[in-house]
Amino acid sequence: MTDLLRILPDFPTARYANLLPTIEREGLTTADLLTLQVPDIGKRTQLPLLDIKRLCAAVLEALHVDLGVSDKQQQKQPKDDNGGKGAEKATSPGALKRTGTELLAEPTRYISTLDPDLDLALGGGVPAGYITEITGESGAGKTQFLLTLLLAVQLPPPHGLGRPALYISTEAPLSTRRLSQLLSHNPFFQSLPASSKPTLDNIIGTVTPDLESQDHILTFQVPVEVARRNIGLLILDSVAANFRAEYDRGASSSANLAARSTALLNLGLHLHELARKHNLAVVVANQVADRFSGSSFKGSSAAQPFSLPRVSQESPLAKRSKGGLGTPVHLSGWSVDPPSSGTADLVRSSMPEPTPEEAPAPPALLLDHQQRWFTGWGDAYPYPYSSSHYGSSEQNLKTPSLGLVWSTQIAARVALWKRPVYGRKEVLDDGEGESTTTLRNWRRWMKVVFAPHVAGSGPGLDGAVEFEVTMGGVRGVDKDKGKRGKGKRKGNEEEEEEE
């Protein structure tokens, strides 16, 4: 309930002083009061149902008044110059602050990546007023994108916002050496006059080594800096580091997960409020984790499809659809017996066992099925089980950190993929030549998983844009000219260790 006064500063809390402490102690938010049933809230708080119903109705009515869609008039009594109360000002009922047509007509400003291919895939660049996440493995190029945005935001429209940037790091400090390198070698900056070039003076950086300092900086210091300096870009690199260190220690108890979910919701709400209020772009970098499922296809006819009880993650609704533990679950001719103590889960079928390509899709309520629309790596079913697409089963299956709770807080997710490129190296031994496979380089791709302003890419690498990291930043690879496969680019060696 700690977000009530932030959402509705004028809410009359004194009338419900006997209810709010208990609701706050139980961790209920304003969204919970609007979405949960009154009996469910009563079970958690042990408060009278009638009082809870009145509180929920009051919160809903206050939101309607704040939006201007209530039949009641909102009365304001501003003080005049003499200290007295002036005339009451009533807002007309049914008048929205901004209509849907006005919102659509309002132009969205973008921050460019300074590469036309990448900007085209992003629908113009990184939009202002939204939370955009850039996720990928270590070395996929996340930091290179972020550093480029720190300089591009200082450019005038249409390439930037003409405003300074704020960089908050939870791991390594800001690399000013790499920023200077981008300024010196990027072709776009080289074409600008000296007076119009971005500078490091317009980039504010800080480091938050733990979650407590991160919350303090974001809650108290960042709003002041944003308003004082007219910040146009806020970067948090990375959002998962402090949460992993704070909540992943010890056993993953339900209380620990609930506390982390609440903290993530508050963080998302705060960042969204900053982006909307100040029309700035919020960009967060996120880590990924390896995804393991119960399936284990080896390419043989005896391979089994996924085992329903073994699936690593599932949505809450999936549990309800399974029924009791003593009831087998039937799916496309397969029957899955309930797990029994001391015995492994068995999957039996009266039909011939399918090949990996013919395996049935997971049930729609399982998270392993749902996440293909919002993770960027789980969207290629049945490709994760097909050796023809990835080269081996379950290769490159990743999941962005912080789970589904954090995914609901962001407006856009951009996933960066990388894949090794191997070459041949001749090794002379006793006069005989031996061919050895060595790692030569990395290939990288960028794909839009979901976004409000541009359509997402297709499954796997369909629609993804290949790019490379150079001395001047990130640059799209021209497939027609066949740049790849001819050795390392000049300047790539120095960026491999940057990120």
Instruction: Report the range of poorest mean pLDDT among 256-260, 290-294, 322-326, 407-411.
Output: 322-326
Q: What is the pLDDT of residue 87?
A: 43
Q: Where are the alpha helices (DSSP H) in 348-470?
A: 367-370, 387-390, 403-407
Residue 402: other Cβ atoms inside 10 A? 24
What are the pLDDT digits (tens) for 287-340? 998 876 544 333 333 333 333 333 344 444 444 444 444 444 444 444 444 444
Torsion of CA 468, 469, 473, 474, to 10 degrees: 30
Is a pLDDT exceeding 70 seen at residue 154? yes
Q: How far apart are CA 154 and CA 188, in angstroms?
A: 13
Is a pLDDT exceeding 50 seen at residue 381? no
What are the pLDDT digits (tens) for 81-121? 444 444 444 444 445 556 666 666 667 899 999 999 999 99
Q: What is the pLDDT of residue 161?
A: 95
Q: What is the pLDDT of residue 434?
A: 59
Q: How far apart are CA 424 and CA 445, in angstroms?
A: 24
Instruction: Report the range of poorest mean pLDDT among 216-225, 280-289, 354-363.
Output: 354-363
Is a pLDDT exceeding 60 seen at residue 75? no
Task: Name the amino acid, one letter, at 279.
Answer: N
Q: What is the pLDDT of residue 458?
A: 80
Share of the chain above pLDDT 70, in %: 65
Q: How far apart are CA 56 and CA 33, in angstroms?
A: 6
pLDDT category of residue 354 using cuts at 50, 70 and 90 = low
Task: Name the amino acid, one letter, at 368.
Answer: D
Tell which wins on pLDDT, 231 or 308: 231
Read off the pTM: 0.67
Q: For residue 65, which phi and psi values (nearest 5 degrees)?
A: -65, -40
Q: How far apart are CA 249 and CA 245, in angstroms?
A: 7
Mean pLDDT of the chain: 76
Is a pLDDT exceeding 60 seen at residue 401? yes
Q: How far apart are CA 206 and CA 292, in angstroms?
A: 35
Q: How far apart are CA 477 and CA 482, in angstroms?
A: 8
pLDDT category of residue 136 using cuts at 50, 70 and 90 = very high
Q: What is the pLDDT of residue 395?
A: 53
Span 342-358, average pLDDT: 49
Q: What is the pLDDT of residue 195?
A: 87
Span 258-266, average pLDDT: 89
Tell which wins on pLDDT, 162 or 423: 162
Q: What is the pLDDT of residue 204?
A: 95
Angle at CA of residue 312, ends 308 and 318, nearest 5°: 55
What are the pLDDT digits (tens) for 29-44? 888 888 888 998 999 8
Q: What is the pLDDT of residue 231?
A: 96
Question: Which range, 99-113, 227-241, 288-302, 395-409, is most confident?
Answer: 227-241
Q: Where are the alpha helices (DSSP H) in 153-194?
A: 176-185, 187-190
The Cα-based distances of 106 to 8, 75, 109, 129 in angstroms read: 25, 29, 10, 12
pLDDT category of residue 483 using cuts at 50, 70 and 90 = very low
Is a pLDDT exceeding 50 seen at residue 408? yes
Is a pLDDT exceeding 60 seen at residue 158? yes
What are the pLDDT digits (tens) for 414-460? 999 998 888 776 665 555 555 666 777 889 999 999 999 899 888 77
The token duo for 478 is 């021209």
